[in-house]
Every structure is written in structure tokens, then in C-alpha cells.
Amino acid sequence: MMRIGIISDTHRFTKAIDHAIPYLQDCDLIVHAGDNIDDADYIEAVTDIPVVAVKGNCDFYSDPGKDEETFMAEDKRVFVCHGHNYGIKYSMSDLLNKALNSNIDIVIFGHSHIPFYQEIRGVIFINPGSVSLPRGGSSKGLGILDIENGEITYERIEI
């Protein structure tokens, strides 16, 4: 089994990140879906768990890191982006096309600060919302993704 903690849109609010840390301690990997990528260094230092992180629209172009990452989690191909380059606040179609054209099983993104979990044409899309600045009537939170023997389980945890 692989357990992945999913966090996004922390926006340098260390206190909010600290509230999320206890829920991430049992994870094999943590994904930070952008804003701000330097928070990933803090999370990795505090948890001693590897972090896959991408840049968001509030990160500087010169910041180290990538806009997108793809990795394997068990037998699932996972794509991580912030979402702003795919216009996710308006439509999921560009992100869906990216996933379908790249044989992606799971897409993790952020940007909207609104939690989202949906399977679209065989691709699972996950936005954990924000741990610091929730929008759309949502609460602060993060996600826990379990992958075991090809089965995917997701839970959003409000903090």
C-alpha cells in the first residue's frame, strides 16, 4: 500500500501547515500542489517524508521547482500541477485532455482553494482545497490518498 498526503495553497502560513502535519505523519509521500513551493521544504524538514511539489501562480518564475510533476504510485500514473495553467477555475477540459493524452490515472491540483474529487472518463481528479485560505464555503483541509492493489481510496480531512 502507498499512502500519499495531499496539501495545497498553504501560502506561507506556517501555523496552518503545522495543523496539517499530524495528519501527514503516516504518509509514504506528500504532494504539495503549489502556492507556495517553498512551503514544501518546510513540510519535508518537519515530517522527514519526501515531498513532490510544484509551483503555483503565487510562486516566482525564478523559484526553483517545476510547474508539473509526474510519478508512479504503485501501478498508477500521477500528474501534479497547480491548475492555473489549465484554467481549472473555468473548466476541467484542458486538464482532462492533458490526462487522457498522457495516460494519467490520477490528477492532483490546487489553485481554486475549493476541494474537488471526481472521476472523469476514468481519470481521478483531486483538489484538497487549502489548509490556510479556504474558499467557496469550504473548510481548511488536506487529502489522504491510499493506493493498494490497484484500488484507490481518498479521504479529505478538515482541520
Query: pLDDT tens across 96-139, in order?
Result: 999 999 999 999 999 999 999 999 999 999 999 999 999 999 99
The tally of domains found in the chain comes to: 1
Contacts of 86 (CB under 8 A, 6+ apart): 94, 95, 98, 109
Domain region containing 91? 2-158
**Rounded CA gap, 73 and 11, in Å?**
26
For position 142, which CATH number holds?
Answer: 3.60.21.10
Query: pLDDT tens across 12-67, in order?
Result: 999 999 999 999 999 999 999 999 999 999 999 999 999 999 999 998 877 788 99
pLDDT at 63: 75
**Rounded CA gap, 20 and 90, in Å?**
28
pLDDT at 108: 99
pTM here?
A: 0.97
